[in-house]
Amino acid sequence: MARIIPPRVTSHPSWKALKEHHREMASTHLRELFSGDPGRAARMRAEGAGILLDYSKNRITDRTLDLLLELAESCRLSDHIRNMFGGQHINKTENRAVLHVALRLPRSARLVVDGVDVVREVHEVLDRMESFSRKIRDGSWKGATGRPIKNIVNIGIGGSDLGPVMAYEALRFYADRSRVFRFVSNIDGTDFAEATRDLDPEETLFIVSSKTFTTLETMTNAHTARRWLLESLKKEESIRHHFVAVSTNSQAVSSFGIDTANMFGFWDWVGGRYSMDSAIGLSTMIAIGPENFRKMLEGFHAMDEHFRTAPFAKNLPVLMGLLTVWYTNFFGSQTVAVLPYDQYLKRFPAYLQQLTMESNGKHVHLDGSPVDTDTGPIFWGEPGTNGQHSFYQLIHQGTRLIPIDFIGFARSHNPIGEHHDILMANLLAQGEALAFGKTADEVRAAGVPELQVPHRTFEGNRPSNTLLARELTPAVLGSLVALYEHSVFTSGIIWGIDSFDQWGVELGKVMAVRIIDEIAGKSPEGGPHDSGTAQLLDWYRKNRKK
Ligand code: F6P
C-alpha cells in the first residue's frame, strides 16, 4: 500500500501567504511600525506563569501574527499539544510517549499511559528523593567512616548534566552554602581531577546520573570516581555510602555496584534534555531543598497549563515558537541569541543549546522524507552585560539578522547599590538601540565628522523579544524552562519533525569506540579511515604518552 505523505508545510496556503507578506515586511522598519501605532506595545505582549513577554520589537504586524497563527492551525498544533499531554507516542522514531509534562503534575492528578498511572510513579520517586535529600541536608546520611556528606558531585553528560548545572547556578541563592556542589561531565580527565582535587572522599557523595547508564563519558568518569574513593576508603563496602544513581537501567546500576535501593528512577518517556525536573534533578533538590524543588515543579506546571489552555494569540510558547519559524524560514536567520541579564543564568544559554538544537536539529520529516525548509536555528548567548563588550557589535552593525531573547528581572537577589538598575537600564537600552538604531542624519546632527558618519550609523531594525519576571525564584526558573521546551515543540510541529529523538549523536559515538580500540592496539592499525583521519591518528599514536 502506498504511504500517505502528509502535505508539506510549504504547501499550506498560510505559508505561501507568509512568503508574500515577507516581501513587504523585509523593507519595513520597526521605526515605522512603532511610529504609526501607539497601541503596538500594549497589543504585542502576553503574560503567563509569572513571565511577561514583550514581542513588540519584532518585525511583524498584526497580519504577520494572523498568518503565523493560521499556519499553527493548519499544522494542527492544538491536536499535537493534546496528543503530547495525553501520553500518545509522539516520539515516532522511538515509539515513545513524550511526557516531561507529567513530571510536574500535582499529586492529585491522574494520567494513565500505556496502562500505568504515571503521576503516582512520579510522586513516589519525588518522595524518595525528598527523604534522601533531607538525610544529606541534615547530616543523618553518613559516609563509610561515619562522617556526614559535605560534597556532592554529579557525574553525567548532556541532559544528565546541563540541567543540574544550570539549575544549581540559577538557584544558587537558595542553595545550602555549607555544602560543595560539583559537576563532572567531560571525558577529559581534567574535569574529574579539578572537580575532586580539594575534596575529602570521606565526605563526598557521587550521584551517577545517566538515563541509559551506558554513556561512555559518564561510565568512564563513574569508574574513575570509584577508584578515587577506594584508594582512600579501601573497602568495596564503602561504595554504597558514597554512590547513588539516577537512571532508567537498574541492571546496569546494580552491576556497577550501586545498591538499587539507592537508585532513583525515571522513565523512557522523559528525554534527556527534558529531564532536569525528574530524578536527574537530585543534586538540585539537595542544593535548594525539597520545598524549593517542588516550587520549581509548580512553576513548570503553571507554564504547561498556560501552553495547554491559553489561546494561541496570547500563548507565550506558541508565539515564541512561531517567531522562530518567521525568522528562520522567511528572513533566513541562522541563529537566535539568548541574553540573560542575570548572572545566575550564566549557564542558561548552554542549557538551551541542548534543548533546542538536539530537539530541532533535524533534516527529515516524521515520515522520513527530507525537509524542504530550514529547521532549528543555532542558539547561543552569554549573560549581559558581558556580551555587550564582546559580540554585540556584530548584532548591531554586522550583516546578519540575529533575533534576540532578552531576559531580565525586576528584583535582584543581591541588591547592591545601583547595580541592578544599571543592569536593567542596559537591557532596555539594548532592545531600543537594536530596534531603532541611529540614522546618518542623527549622527551628523550630533556633530560627528563626515568620515565617521557611515561607521557610526546604526541601521536598527534588529528584532528582539523581552522576557521579564519579578525575581529569579525556583518557580520562575521552572516556568522559563517550560516556556522554551514548549516553544521548541511549537516550531518542531510546524516543521513536521521529530523533536524528541537524537539519532544525530550516534555515528560519532560509534566511530570513537572503534578508534579507541585502534589506539589501544586492539584492532588492526590504520583501520579503514580516510587518509586525513589516518594521518591524524598516526600522529597521535606516535606522540601520545604511553
Ligand atoms: O548525546 C546524546 C544523549 O543521549 C543526550 O540526549 C543525553 O542527554 C545524553 O546523551 C546523556 O545520556 P544518558 O543520560 O543516557 O547518559
Expressed in angstroms and rounded, the spacing between residue 102 Cα and the centre of ligand 1 is: 20
pTM of the predicted model as reported, rounded to 2 decimal places: 0.97
* Residue of 209, 485, 500, 505 to test ligand 1 pocket, by largest number of atoms within 8 Å of CB: 505
- Residue position matching grid coordinates 542558539: 379
Alpha-carbon gap, residue 361 to 376, rounded angstroms: 5
The stretch 176-186 carries a mean pLDDT of 98
Expressed in angstroms and rounded, the spacing between residue 500 Cα and the centre of ligand 1 is: 12
- Tell me what pLDDT residue 546 has: 78
Single-letter code of the amino acid located at 314: K
pLDDT confidence of 28, banded at 50, 70, 90? Answer: very high
Residues 112, 262 contacting (CB under 8 angstroms): no
Q: 3-class DSSP state for residue 104?
A: helix
What ligand 1 atom has the least distance to the C-alpha of 212? 15
Determine which residue's CA is closest to atom 4 belonging to ligand 1.
Answer: 272
Average pLDDT, the chain: 96
Determine which residue's CA is closest to atom 10 belonging to ligand 1.
Answer: 158
Residues 42, 52 contacting (CB under 8 angstroms): no
Specify the pairing of strand 116-117 against strand 45-48: unpaired
Alpha-carbon gap, residue 179 to 39, rounded angstroms: 51
Expressed in angstroms and rounded, the spacing between residue 27 Cα and the centre of ligand 1 is: 43
Is 242 considered catalytic here? no
Cβ partners under 8 Å of residue 50, min gap 6: 299, 302, 469, 470, 475, 476, 479
Q: Would the CB of 396 count as within 6 Å of ligand 1?
A: no
Alpha-carbon gap, residue 368 to 498, rounded angstroms: 10
The stretch 427-445 carries a mean pLDDT of 98
The stretch 89-115 carries a mean pLDDT of 96
Determine which residue's CA is closest to atom 3 belonging to ligand 1.
Answer: 158
Question: Which residue among the candidates 358, 362, 365, 396 is catalytic per the annotation?
Answer: 358
- Tell me what pLDDT residue 105 has: 98
- Tell me what pLDDT residue 6 has: 66
* Residue of 93, 94, 100, 160 to test ligand 1 pocket, by largest number of atoms within 8 Å of CB: 160
Check whether 441 has a pLDDT greater than 60: yes
Q: Which ipTM did the prediction report?
A: 0.98
Is 234 considered catalytic here? no
Q: Would the CB of 465 count as within 6 Å of ligand 1?
A: no
Alpha-carbon gap, residue 292 to 299, rounded angstroms: 11
Nearest residue to 80 via CA among 317, 344, 291: 317
Burial readout 193-213 (b: 16 or more C-beta within 10 A, e: otherwise): eebbeebebbbbbbbbbbbeb
The stretch 408-419 carries a mean pLDDT of 98
Alpha-carbon gap, residue 196 to 65, rounded angstroms: 52
At 502, phi and psi to the nearest 5?
-155, 55
- Residue position matching grid coordinates 539578522: 401
pLDDT confidence of 264, banded at 50, 70, 90? Answer: very high
Q: Would the CB of 218 count as within 6 Å of ligand 1?
A: yes
The stretch 461-483 carries a mean pLDDT of 98
Classify burial at 537, counting beta carbons within 10 Å of its beta carbon; exposed 0-12, middle 13-18, buried 19 or more: middle
3-state secondary structure 45-89: EEEECCEEEECCCCCCCHHHHHHHHHHHHHCCHHHHHHHHHCCCC
Check whether 153 has a pLDDT greater than 70: yes
The stretch 233-241 carries a mean pLDDT of 95
Cell of 202: 570521606
pLDDT confidence of 526, banded at 50, 70, 90? Answer: low
- Tell me what pLDDT residue 524 has: 65
For residue 264, the cross-strand partners are 246
Check whether 414 has a pLDDT greater than 80: yes
Is the alpha carbon torsion for 245, 250, 256, 261 positive or negative? positive
What ligand 1 atom has the least distance to the C-alpha of 275? 8
Is the alpha carbon torsion for 85, 91, 97, 99 positive or negative? negative
pLDDT confidence of 1, banded at 50, 70, 90? Answer: very low
Nearest residue to 408 via CA among 424, 426, 387: 424
Taking the CA atoms of the chain, what radius of gyration do you get in angstroms?
Answer: 25
Preceding peptide of 533 cis, ω within 30°: no
Expressed in angstroms and rounded, the spacing between residue 174 Cα and the centre of ligand 1 is: 28
- Tell me what pLDDT residue 114 has: 86
Helices assigned H by DSSP within 113-186: 118-138, 162-170
In this structure, the number of other CB atoms found within 10 A of the CB of residue 71 comes to 21
Q: Would the CB of 212 count as within 6 Å of ligand 1?
A: yes
The stretch 198-225 carries a mean pLDDT of 97
Q: Would the CB of 360 count as within 6 Å of ligand 1?
A: no
What ligand 1 atom has the least distance to the C-alpha of 156? 16
* Residue of 183, 215, 507 to test ligand 1 pocket, by largest number of atoms within 8 Å of CB: 215
Expressed in angstroms and rounded, the spacing between residue 43 Cα and the centre of ligand 1 is: 41
Question: Which residue among the candidates 231, 237, 363, 389 is catalytic per the annotation?
Answer: 389
In this structure, the number of other CB atoms found within 10 A of the CB of residue 123 comes to 17
Expressed in angstroms and rounded, the spacing between residue 11 Cα and the centre of ligand 1 is: 35
Cell of 544: 601520545
**pLDDT tens string 299-351:** 999 999 999 999 999 999 999 999 999 999 999 999 999 999 999 999 999 99
- Tell me what pLDDT residue 219 has: 97
Residues 196, 248 contacting (CB under 8 angstroms): no
User: Which of residues 11 and 527 earns the better pLDDT score?
Assistant: 11
Counted residue by residue, the chain has a size of: 546
- Tell me what pLDDT residue 2 has: 47
Expressed in angstroms and rounded, the spacing between residue 505 Cα and the centre of ligand 1 is: 9
Expressed in angstroms and rounded, the spacing between residue 161 Cα and the centre of ligand 1 is: 9
At 341, phi and psi to the nearest 5?
-95, 65
Q: Would the CB of 505 count as within 6 Å of ligand 1?
A: yes
- Tell me what pLDDT residue 322 has: 98
Is 130 considered catalytic here? no
- Tell me what pLDDT residue 282 has: 98
Helices assigned H by DSSP within 289-380: 290-309, 316-325, 348-353, 359-360
- Tell me what pLDDT residue 521 has: 85
At 204, phi and psi to the nearest 5?
-115, 135
Burial readout 270-279 (b: 16 or more C-beta within 10 A, e: otherwise): bbbbbbbbbb
pLDDT confidence of 442, banded at 50, 70, 90? Answer: very high
